[in-house]
Amino acid sequence: MRMYDIIMKKRDGYALSTEEINYFIENYTNGLIPDYQVSALLMAIYLNKMDKRETLDLTKAIINSGDTFDLSKINGIKVDKHSTGGVGDTTTLILGPMVAACGVPFVKMSGRGLGHTGGTLDKLESIKGFRVELDNEEFEEIANTINISICSQTGNITPADKKLYALRDVTATVDNISLITASIMSKKLAIESDGIILDVKVGSGAFMKNIDDAVRLAKEMVDIGNLYGRKTVALVTNMDEPLGKAVGNALEIKEAIDTLKGKGPEDLYELTLVLGSKLLYLAEKVDNEIDGRNMLIEAVNSGKAFEKFKELVRYQGGDVSYIENPELLPKAKYVLEVKSNVEGYVKAINAEEVGKCALALGAGRETKESIIDMAAGIVLNKKVDDKVEIGETLAYVHGNDLNKAEEVKNRLLNIFVIGEKNQEAKKLIYDEIN
Ligand code: URA
Ligand code: CA
């Protein structure tokens, strides 16, 4: 087999065979095929697309390029949750304890944030002492003791994806449905959970900017998950404005605590309930999603979900007093108020721009090596469709660098679009794919 012939075949619009896909992934991972040939193939795939069988083969080949993670030593039916990435997406921190409090194991290997989107591991590390680096035995033991554990990925999982993703990033071949599906699903399927729930984000803060594309991506991912033999469902949800109110590491931990106590932002709580009820149903804990929803609400109202979060923090080495008293969490030196100079209704709050503001304050990573300012971030006081008076606070800027905080304050004033009331009320969930 020759890479040249594989490139030519895809260039001319034909489907690649299973053997051809395996050949190129295996030899690219080993370093035997150079980047320039794979770049050409990626562009051919981008332009001529892959069918479902090819996408499944590509996903499998990427999984086989490295190790898989066996969860069989953890008791119960394990359902993994994955969000395609957004701004202020605090759901994992709320969903995990809620589901675990209902008796369903929630075990997750999470990632760190890069660019304008945050990562669950970084947020957890704003709690003093919290350890995200666990070895496999520790991860299994904690999960079996308290039903929940969240750690960083260990081992050599999907090395082909790391190389391919870096190459796609610099060759304008990221936004292709098959390539995205194989990239995301290979990483999810390499962790051997019993089910997968996907939260596909769409809007200004997501990499899918329109609903049709997001639904197409969600359907493809659900198909590939199910064809691989894993129960997979997806939601397509709004990322036009940030989720909840807080964007930033310690600020989102505080938001998670509030929500677990039943005092969080409505959209964040609602999305967690919808994801959670699907998760309890997938894990066969309830016969239908309505029972699941009620069980989750009960876990919050009884205080069990909040207790579960404290247990997670304690078992992973964190200082629980930070959770009991969030005032102890890292705090910014300056908190500036962004005040409206017009009256009307909030029409839009571009989530990507808010994410970039948080990044400028130090809440995120410009590069993999950047050090995060745990205290920095933004808290929205108004959300889309809210009424605003002149002089009312739109948002709070939390920063340790006064110049940067002032600059972000001015940027935010332009990010809030205020005017006539929107014709249609905003939607949180656009579609469900079961
Ligand atoms: N996230 C991924 O992990 N892969 C993609 O291709 C796109 C987003
Ligand atoms: Ca949030």
Q: What is the mean pLDDT of residues 351-362?
A: 95
Q: Could you tell me the two tokens for 50?
A: 């892959």
Give the per-residue pLDDT at 118: 75
Closest ligand, as measured to the CA of 167: 1
Tell me which of 62, 84, 112, 180 to substitute to probe ligand 1's pocket, judged by most ligand atoms within 8 Å of the beta carbon: 180
Q: Is ligand 1 within 6 A of the CB of residue 183?
A: yes
Is 184 a pocket residue for ligand 1 (Cβ < 6 Å)?
A: yes
| Residue 71 within a domain | no
| Beta strands in 165-300, from DSSP E residues, in sequence order | 195-202, 231-238, 246-247
Cα of 26 vs centre of ligand 2, distance in Å, is 40
Return the residue whose CA atom lies nearest to atom 5 of ligand 1. 180
Q: What is the pTM of this model?
A: 0.94
> How many Å lie between the centroid of ligand 2 and the Cα of residue 228?
33
In this prediction, residues 260-269 reach a mean pLDDT of 97
Convert the pLDDT of each residue in 283-316 to its tens digit.
999 999 999 999 999 999 999 999 999 999 999 9
Is 68 within 8 Å of 156 (Cβ atoms)?
no
One domain for residues 134 and 264: yes
Please tell me the total number of residues recorded for the chain in this structure: 434
State pLDDT tens for residues 150-184. Answer: 999 877 899 999 999 999 989 999 989 999 999 99
- Provide the mean pLDDT of the chain: 95
pLDDT in tens, 31-73: 999 999 999 999 999 999 999 999 999 999 999 999 999 999 9
Provide the domain limits for residue 362: 331-419
Domain boundary (306, 324, 342) is at: 324
Task: Confirm whether 425 is domain-assigned.
Answer: no
User: Is 73 a member of any domain?
Assistant: no
**Nearest CA owner, ligand 1 atom 2:** 184
Query: Is residue 59 in some structural domain?
Result: no
Burial (0-12, 13-18, 19+ Cβ within 10 Å), 277: buried
Tell me, using a 6 A CB cutoff, whether residue 180 lines ligand 1.
yes
Q: What is the count of structural domains for the chain? A: 3
Ligand 2 center to residue 92 CA distance, Å? 11
Same structural domain for residues 286 and 376? Answer: no
Neighbours of ion ligand 2 (CB under 5 A): 88, 90, 244, 246
